[in-house]
């Protein structure tokens, strides 16, 4: 693996790498259940996974990124914890963890990616968490289908949405509690689930112990952590986090020209295909020889069909070999070999998903810094 020293050594030669190195936040090992993470903010925790940790398609729990809007409890008693299901239902429920675990078990491997992943790379720059690419992770989630829980409560005719909230609380009483909603049909699609385990272990506190929502194919703003309340609604949710935050321009690709005022918006929803070279660091100096270039790709809301790799800034492409398929919502490993010429080189990987969507070469822009999906570049020097 290539170290930070390599990055710094090459930084003087590469303006892009220098800009990145200058703004790189520190690494930390100070958080419970977490190994080395990039510290974006201490309270509430904002921790990013270093790109080099994405070699395997499963992201280990102790490297999985962390994002909270509000402070959250650091100790939860699983014996007294209850999940409340109410609102527009015939039988409100107050479920213990034991009762929940008696429902049929469901498992899925799925990528959890922040809407603003890679925001630090937008140009013009955007305020908000300055994530590079590590506000994402892929895990095997274990729990129950949301449908099975909703069916026990019995949504009444006229139910339109289902709203989710967790144990975290705003710092001031007038600030909006974090709540997200899904359409009833989406909530009942048999894939949306309530998870109590990731990668075979209880959820880490920082990732939402004891329960979180998993919404395969959708950005993680909907993946409500420390889930303790599910509310069936008979009208569309107009709370701050649905009506004001996490909106994208209502254009085909969620893009708008910087500076545009008064444009139609829609809530962010499904993810787009992406690929990341993770075995070579930005700014690396590499020997002039055939070089393995590999990493992880995701299809967004459908599987990874194909990944191509370029060693010459996109002038030519070669098919990468895909690793095992862990399902359409999972990361998929890709590997290729680049035969370089001497000097600076732009390495690229491009994913095509099963729906035929190909990563574009040029970037989109929107004021939230959401939905980044263009082909990414790793600048290296072959010498
Ligand atoms: N209860 C609660 N759930 C939440 C959030 C939150 O602030 N509170 N943030 C959401 C956002 S924006 C992200 S990116 C993911 C992060 O999930 P992770 O911390 O497990 O990686 O949690 C989502 N679920
Ligand atoms: Mo997020």
pLDDT digits (tens, 9 = 90+) for 114-124: 999 999 999 99
Q: How far is ligand 2, taken at its centre, from the CA of residue 66, in Å?
A: 9
Cβ-based neighbours of 354, under 8 Å, separated by 6 or more: 299, 302, 303, 304, 305, 328
| DSSP annotation of 252 | T
106 & 208 share domain: yes
Closest atom, ligand 1, to C-alpha of 64: 21
Q: How far is ligand 1, taken at its centre, from the CA of residue 377, in Å?
A: 28
CATH number at residue 347: 2.60.40.650
Q: How far is ligand 2, taken at its centre, from the CA of residue 114, in Å?
A: 4
149 & 262 share domain: yes
Last residue of some domain: 215, 234, 267?
267
DSSP three-state, residue 41: strand
Q: Are 349 and 334 in contact (CB under 8 A)?
A: yes
Q: Is the pLDDT of residue 161 over 70?
A: yes
> Would residue 125 count as lying in a domain?
no
336 & 357 share domain: yes
- Sorting pLDDT into bands at 50, 70 and 90, what band is 10? very low
> Would residue 75 count as lying in a domain?
no
Report in angstroms the alpha-carbon separations of 199 from 81, 102, 190, 196, 296: 22, 20, 20, 10, 18
CA angle 163, 168, 173 (to 5 degrees): 90
Average pLDDT, integer, range 331-350: 98
Q: Is the pLDDT of residue 351 over 50?
A: yes
86 & 206 share domain: yes
257 & 295 share domain: no
Angle, helices 4-11/15-22, rounded to nearest 10 degrees: 120
Element counts in the chain: helices (H) and strands (E): 6, 25
Domain span at residue 222 reads 82-118+133-267
Positive or negative, the Cα torsion across 54, 58, 63, 68?
positive
CATH number at residue 110: 3.90.420.10
> Would residue 77 count as lying in a domain?
no
pTM (2 d.p.): 0.94
198 & 89 share domain: yes
* Residues paired with residue 248 on neighbouring β-strands, in sequence order: 266
200 & 221 share domain: yes
**Ligand closest in space to the Cα of 206:** 1
Q: How far is ligand 1, taken at its centre, from the CA of residue 135, in Å?
A: 11
Q: Is the pLDDT of residue 339 over 90?
A: yes
pLDDT digits (tens, 9 = 90+) for 46-74: 999 999 999 999 999 999 999 999 999 99
Q: Which residues line ligand 1 (CB under 6 A)?
A: 64-69, 112, 114, 166, 168, 178, 207-208, 220-221, 223-226
| DSSP annotation of 89 | B
Average pLDDT, integer, range 144-165: 98
What residue owns the CA closest to ligand 1's atom 9? Answer: 68
What pLDDT score does 363 carry? Answer: 96
> Would residue 127 count as lying in a domain?
no
DSSP H/E element including 184: helix 184-187
> Would residue 177 count as lying in a domain?
yes
Last residue of some domain: 228, 250, 267?
267
Task: Please count the structural domains in the chain.
Answer: 3
Q: How far is ligand 2, taken at its centre, from the CA of residue 159, in Å?
A: 27
pLDDT digits (tens, 9 = 90+) for 181-217: 999 999 999 999 999 999 999 999 999 999 999 999 9
What residue owns the CA closest to ligand 1's atom 20? Answer: 207
259 & 301 share domain: no
What residue owns the CA closest to ligand 1's atom 10? Answer: 221
pLDDT digits (tens, 9 = 90+) for 268-312: 999 999 999 999 999 999 999 999 999 999 999 999 999 999 999
- Sorting pLDDT into bands at 50, 70 and 90, what band is 3? very low
Other Cβ atoms closer than 10 A to 24: 15
Q: Pocket of ligand 1, candidates 46, 197, 220: which has the most ligand atoms within 8 Å of its Cβ, to mutate?
A: 220
What residue owns the CA closest to ligand 1's atom 19? Answer: 66
Rounded Cα–Cα distance for residues 326 and 349 (Å): 20
Cβ-based neighbours of 272, under 8 Å, separated by 6 or more: 300, 357, 359, 371, 373
Rounded Cα–Cα distance for residues 294 and 335 (Å): 4
> Would residue 244 count as lying in a domain?
yes
What pLDDT score does 23 carry? Answer: 66
Average pLDDT, integer, range 371-381: 98
191 & 280 share domain: no
Q: How far is ligand 2, taken at its centre, from the CA of residue 57, in Å?
A: 20
Beta strand spans in 120-253 (E): 136-145, 161-166, 179-183, 193-198, 201-202, 212-214, 227-233, 247-249
Average pLDDT, integer, range 232-261: 97
Instruction: Look up residue 300 and give its two tokens.
Output: 């967004």
Q: Is the pLDDT of residue 83 over 90?
A: yes
What residue owns the CA closest to ligand 1's atom 6? Answer: 68
What pLDDT score does 24 carry? Answer: 80
What pLDDT score does 1 carry? Answer: 37
Last residue of some domain: 225, 245, 267?
267
> Would residue 374 count as lying in a domain?
yes
230 & 348 share domain: no
> Would residue 326 count as lying in a domain?
yes
Q: Pocket of ligand 1, candidates 41, 202, 223, 227: which has the most ligand atoms within 8 Å of its Cβ, to mutate?
A: 223
87 & 49 share domain: no
What residue owns the CA closest to ligand 1's atom 14? Answer: 114
229 & 349 share domain: no
**Ligand closest in space to the Cα of 67:** 1
């Amino acid at each position: 693996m290539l170290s930070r020293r390599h990055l710094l050594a090459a930084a003087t030669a590469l303006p892009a790498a220098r800009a990145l190195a200058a703004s790189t936040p520190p690494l930390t090992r100070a958080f419970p259940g977490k190994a080395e993470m990039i510290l974006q903010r201490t309270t509430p925790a904002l921790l990013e996974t270093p790109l080099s940790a994405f070699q395997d398609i499963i992201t280990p729990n102790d490297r999985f990124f962390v994002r909270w809007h509000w402070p959250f409890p650091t100790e939860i008693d699983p014996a007294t914890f209850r999940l409340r299901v109410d609102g527009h239902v015939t039988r409100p429920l107050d479920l213990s963890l034991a009762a929940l675990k008696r429902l049929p078990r469901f498992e899925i491997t799925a990528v959890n990616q922040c809407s603003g992943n890679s925001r630090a790379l937008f140009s013009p720059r955007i305020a908000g968490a300055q994530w590079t690419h590590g506000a994402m992770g892929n895990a095997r989630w274990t729990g129950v289908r949301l449908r099975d829980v909703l069916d026990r409560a019995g949504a009444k005719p006229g139910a339109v949405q289902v709203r989710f909230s967790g144990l975290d609380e705003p710092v001031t009483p007038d600030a909006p509690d974090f709540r997200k909603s899904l359409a009833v049909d989406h909530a009942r699609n048999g894939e949306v689930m309530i998870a109590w385990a990731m990668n075979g272990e209880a959820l880490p506190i920082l990732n939402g112990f004891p329960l979180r929502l998993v919404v395969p194919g959708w950005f993680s703003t909907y993946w409500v952590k420390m889930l303790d309340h599910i509310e069936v609604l008979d009208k569309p949710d107009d709370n701050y986090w649905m009506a004001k935050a996490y909106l994208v321009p209502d254009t085909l690709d969620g893009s708008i020209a910087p500076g545009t005022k008064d444009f139609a918006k829609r809530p962010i929803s499904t993810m787009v295909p992406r690929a990341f070279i993770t075995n070579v660091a930005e700014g690396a100096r590499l020997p002039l020889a055939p070089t393995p270039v590999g990493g992880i790709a995701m299809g967004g809301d459908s599987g990874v069909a194909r990944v191509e790799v370029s060693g010459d800034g996109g002038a030519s492409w070669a098919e990468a070999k895909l690793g095992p398929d862990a399902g359409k919502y999972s990361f998929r490993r890709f590997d290729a070999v680049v035969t370089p010429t001497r000097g600076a080189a732009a390495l690229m990987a491009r994913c095509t998903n099963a729906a035929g969507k190909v990563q574009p070469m040029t970037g989109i822009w929107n004021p939230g810094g959401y939905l980044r999906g263009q082909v990414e570049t790793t600048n290296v020097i072959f010498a």
